[in-house]
Amino acid sequence: MDKYFNAVYILEAIPKLLPYLSVTFMITGLSVFFGTILGFFLAVAKIKKGKISLKIANGYTTALRCTPSIVLLFLTYYGIPAITKSLGVNLDDVDKTVFIVITFSLQFAAAMCEVIRTAYDSVDKGQYEAAVSVGLNSFHAYRLIIFPQAFVVALPNIGNSLLALIKEGALAYTIGLIDVMGKASLIIAGNFNAHALETYIALSLIYWVISVTIEQIFIKTEKELGKGRQIARSI
């Protein structure tokens, strides 16, 4: 089989890869959803600075941010079933997607914890006191005054964390998930490693388009929301 570089194979590979983006987006979406929820509670623990909860939150974020994604994936995929089996629960039939979502949710939570905490700390606490002094209760003060400003500050870091998650998610193929990266590996194996370079270039182009699109969406959203913040400051 011909193994010389042929750009035509790039164009042929892209349509074969694109349908599997739905799996990649599903994993990313679920991981962002559950990771953000967990990250929020971890951030609250750090903001409240309770003695025990602060130590737990700090320990969690340190451990997760220092663990390589692929190591965490293997720990989750092999570790959780091993633990449950010792308790008499067999998880051998559970879809591997579940373990992948757990892995990247845990990892995304560690990133979001710091994003939320630093964004909250960037907002002048005097604004909360001013909001309460004019009759707003705590819930409305946070919802209408604190959170909108913190969200604008957090946007760039949220975008960076999302891009990192999408790229790290490519590791899911290592345990057999057929997403866009897994499909690329199957194409290369089916060609007996011929035209692997062209296939990986096609895969790179897809990731580049996704990354640039997400980056531009976050930049434009930040600019639009930032306009309102600037107007509020000038009043």
Model pLDDT for residues 69-125, shown as the tens digit of each residue: 999 999 999 999 999 999 889 888 899 999 999 999 999 999 999 999 999 998 888
Tell me which DSSP letter residue 178 carries: -
Coil, strand or helix: which one is 57?
helix
DSSP states along 27-43? HHHHHHHHHHHHHHHHH
- Please tell me the pTM assigned to this model: 0.89
Q: What pLDDT, on the 0 to 100 scale, is given for residue 134?
A: 85
Domains of the chain with bracketed CATH? 8-234 (1.10.3720.10)
Residue in the structure block whose two tokens are 């089916």: 190
Residues 4, 195: Cα–Cα separation, whole Å: 7
Look up residue 106 and give its two tokens.
């845990």
Tell me which DSSP letter residue 20 carries: G
Q: What are the two backbone dihedrals, phi and then psi, of residue 58, each rounded to the nearest 5 degrees?
A: -65, -45
Residue pLDDT, tens place only, 218-227: 999 988 887 6
Residues 157, 167: Cα–Cα separation, whole Å: 15
Mean pLDDT over 15-22 rounds to: 95
- Beta strand ranges found along the chain (DSSP E): none
Q: What is the largest CA-CA distance in the chain?
A: 77
Let me know if 22 is exposed, middle or buried by CB neighbors in 10 A (0-12, 13-18, 19+): exposed
> C-alpha 22: how far from its chain's center?
16
Residue pLDDT, tens place only, 26-61: 999 999 999 999 999 999 999 988 889 999 999 999
pLDDT higher at 92 or 165: 165
Q: What pLDDT, on the 0 to 100 scale, is given for residue 224?
A: 85
